[in-house]
Amino acid sequence: MFKHVPKLKSPLPDNSRVSTGVSGLDKIIQGGFLKGSCVLVTGGTGTGKTTLMLQFLNEGLKNGEKCIFITLEESAEDIKADALQFGWDFLKYEKNGQLRIEMYDPFELTDVNLRLKDLIITNNYKRVVIDSTSLFGMYIKDDYKIRKGLYSLVSTIKATNCTAMISSEITEDSKLLSRYGIEEFVTDGVIVLYFMGIGSQGFGSVQVRKMRRTNHAKAVYPMEITDNGIVVSELEKFKA
């Protein structure tokens, strides 16, 4: 009755860790993402999803890795401007060939899959970011097609050796972890970002909801976006 859902193909498990670029986040996930994994970052608008992904790429760029940023929302120029305000000179890395920023048409979900696989394999990208998968639904009305497309997108990424992050935007009152309710199942990890406004102040926080093969912290941690990027603090800071 139910069709068998095939397991996502991935290379042999590699237990080494890849730093997220946020030391406070690394600390609660045993040092970073598993090499070759694909992690979903989800949350409402302005919670820091794009910033976290920029920081993740910047960490790789600093280490001499080749990285690619696939954007469906902002232009490549905006992405570079976003990064620069945190002191991350993406233009420099673009010029030296370490970084590629591509803006995709959300209408072309199947083409994205094919093109991405080709790009990653040919260029040996170590870090891949897709911001944001929610945009696919703007043009593709058929939910089944979106889910199928997202499933193959993550399969494509996981069939390579790169470590990846994808984002999905949810509304504040959403009970789902992701826009289409599939992203969290097909990815290896889920990081949820929250924002809460109290009076004249706003507080950000982060929770690791899932991280395969990782004994991760389950609590909600305070998170701040500063001029130097995202800072995740220890819980003790709040108790004082």
Q: Could you list the residues that contact ligand ADP (CB under 6 A)? A: 43, 45-51, 85, 225-227
Is omega for the bond preceding 155 within 30 degrees of 0, making it cis?
A: no
51 contacts which partner out of Mg ion, ligand ADP, none, CB within 5 to 8 A by kind? ligand ADP
Terminal C-alpha separation, the chain: 56
Paired tokens of 67? 């990285």
Q: Using CB distances below 5 to 8 A depending on partner kind, what does residue 71 bind out of ligand ADP, Mg ion, none?
A: none
| CB of 190 vs ligand ADP, minimal distance in Å | 15
Q: C-beta of 190: minimal distance to Mg ion in Å?
A: 17
Stretch of residues binding Mg ion (CB under 5 A), selected from 15-23, 47-55, 83-91, 138-146: 47-55
Q: Toward ligand ADP, which CB reaches closer, 14 or 74?
A: 74
Cα gap 5→197, rounded to integer Å: 41
> Among residues 85 and 124, whose Cβ is nearest to ligand ADP?
85
Structure tokens at 5: 């859902």
Give the residue from 48, 55, 51, 50 showing the smallest Cα distance to 33: 55
Kindly determine how many residues on this chain lie close enough to bind Mg ion according to the rule CB under 5 A.
1
Burial label, 201 (beta-carbon count in 10 A; 0-12, 13-18, 19+): exposed
**Are 126 and 63 within 8 A, CB to CB?**
no
* CB closer to ligand ADP, 49 vs 126: 49
Cβ 165 to ligand ADP shortest distance, Å = 12
Least spacing, CB of residue 126 vs ligand ADP, in Å: 22
Q: Is there binding between residue 50 and Mg ion (CB under 5 A)? A: yes
Tokens of 52: 């976290």
Nearer to Mg ion, 42 or 50 (CB): 50
Q: Which residue is nearest to Mg ion (CB)?
A: 50
In the complex with ligand ADP, the residue whose CB is nearer, 227 or 236, is: 227
Q: Is 130 helix (H, G, I), strand (E, B) or coil?
A: strand
Find all residues with CB under 8 Å of 72, minimum gap 6, and list them: 103, 104, 105, 106, 130, 131, 132, 133, 135, 136
Distance in Å, CB of 46 to Mg ion, minimum: 8
Can you give the binding site for Mg ion, defined by CB under 5 A?
A: 50
